[in-house]
């Protein structure tokens, strides 16, 4: 059997078990079994496959056919160009969460649209410029640490606090911080949402960011098997209508954000309008929705603006 034969066999095997992207995943698993990168594999496409690699490949394929997500099998997932260790203790990072992370990085790096609320030629200037001398970010429900680590990596002057209710998740996140050399700028705290934050950071936070659970409980049974049976339910399925955590963060964020600080939340399909409405009812302004790569309103952000200073700051825009 050649490398090509093994790939084709694995692709058909995965397709028969209902895997959505059998060619991509057969490629990933075969390269893992061989210990090769893509160039090595395709330059030896017609070479014989040795028995040891075949045995390893079949074990990996069987695990995937049994429903285990490919990134748990591989033990890693790329996010923002960085490799993150992942296992069943944490949610697998998704491309749509890169959109959320890019919004924060742009804000911290002084992106004019983020800082002024300028959108689609409609300018709304915030009276609360965020000082560049200190940038404090809190990543709520950090999971694998992908958001916190990427922010620390791409914004060298950012200090990050990452919270999670799961000690196992924090262990994974801390290992990823060490992997990318940013552990000295991230503090990991165990607890529910904002409760583990020290009082010393009240009204000192430049950015609160979170990818909370947002699948409504009544929709959980319809999730793909690999999510339903393998990824941590607490990171996927929200309480009540799926948006209980969003409401809490919008309410409690005003206690922690500095004036002009940003709260950014990932949301599910069809949820952005409700979340934007809750921002409008609280002490926030410059409310924006941002679409993901599929054109879905995926991120909602707002600036903390105490009631006495809101004035005409509020703007709703899709960008």
What pLDDT shows up at residue 59?
A: 97
What confidence score (pLDDT) does residue 306 get? 78
Q: Number of C-alpha atoms within 13 angstroms, CB side, residue 260?
A: 18
pLDDT of 71-94, one tens digit each? 999 999 999 999 999 999 999 999
**pLDDT recorded at residue 110:** 80
pLDDT of residue 184: 93
Quick one: pLDDT at residue 316?
Answer: 44
What span, in angstroms and rounded, lies between the C-alpha atoms of 265 and 100? 7
Long-range contacts, stretch 165-171, CB < 8 angstroms, 24+ apart:
165/141, 165/190, 165/191, 165/192, 165/193, 165/234, 166/89, 166/90, 166/190, 166/232, 166/234, 168/89, 168/90, 169/89, 169/90, 169/142, 169/143, 169/144, 169/232, 169/235, 170/142, 171/89
* Whether 189 contacts 162, CB under 8 Å: yes
Give the Cα separation of 261 and 115 in Å (integer).
10
> Which of the residues in the chain have pLDDT under 50?
111-133, 308-317
Predicted local distance difference test score (pLDDT) of residue 76: 96
User: Tokens 């799926």, residue?
Assistant: 242
Please give the structure tokens belonging to residue 187. Answer: 């503090």
**Would you state the pLDDT for residue 283?**
87
Alpha helix ranges (H) inside 160-213: 167-179
Kindly state the tokens that stand for 317.
Answer: 């825009």
Residue 98: other Cβ atoms inside 10 A: 19
Residue with tokens 């922010």: 151
């Amino acid at each position: 059997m050649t490398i090509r034969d093994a790939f084709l066999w694995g692709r058909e095997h995965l397709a028969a078990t209902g895997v959505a992207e059998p060619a991509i995943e057969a490629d990933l698993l075969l390269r893992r079994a061989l210990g090769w990168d893509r160039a090595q594999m395709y330059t030896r496409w017609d070479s014989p496959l040795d028995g040891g690699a075949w045995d390893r490949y079949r074990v990996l394929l069987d695990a995937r056919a049994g429903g285990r997500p490919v990134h748990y099998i591989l033990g890693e997932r790329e996010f923002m160009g960085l490799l993150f260790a992942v296992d069943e203790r944490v949610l697998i990072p998704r491309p749509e969460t890169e959109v959320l992370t890019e919004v924060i990085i742009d804000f911290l790096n002084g992106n004019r649209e983020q800082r002024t609320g300028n959108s689609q030629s409609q300018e709304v200037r915030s009276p609360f410029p965020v000082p560049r001398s200190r940038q404090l970010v809190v990543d709520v429900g950090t999971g694998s640490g992908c958001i916190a680590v990427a922010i620390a990596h791409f914004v060298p002057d950012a200090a990050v606090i990452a919270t999670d209710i799961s000690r196992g998740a924090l262990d994974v996140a801390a290992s990823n911080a060490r992997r990318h050399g940013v552990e000295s700028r991230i503090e990991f705290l165990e607890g529910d949402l904002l409760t583990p934050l020290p009082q010393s950071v009240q009204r000192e936070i430049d950015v609160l960011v979170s990818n909370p659970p947002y699948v409504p409980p009544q929709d959980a049974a319809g999730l793909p098997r690999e999510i339903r049976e393998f990824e941590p339910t607490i990171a996927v399925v929200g309480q009540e209508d799926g948006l209980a955590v969003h409401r809490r963060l919008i309410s409690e964020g005003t206690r922690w954000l500095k004036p002009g600080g940003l709260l950014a939340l990932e949301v599910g399909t069809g949820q952005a309008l409700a979340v934007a409405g809750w921002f409008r009812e609280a002490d926030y302004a410059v409310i924006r929705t941002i679409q993901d790569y599929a054109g879905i309103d995926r991120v909602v952000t707002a600036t903390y603006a105490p009631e006495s200073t809101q004035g005409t700051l509020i703007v709703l825009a899709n960008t």
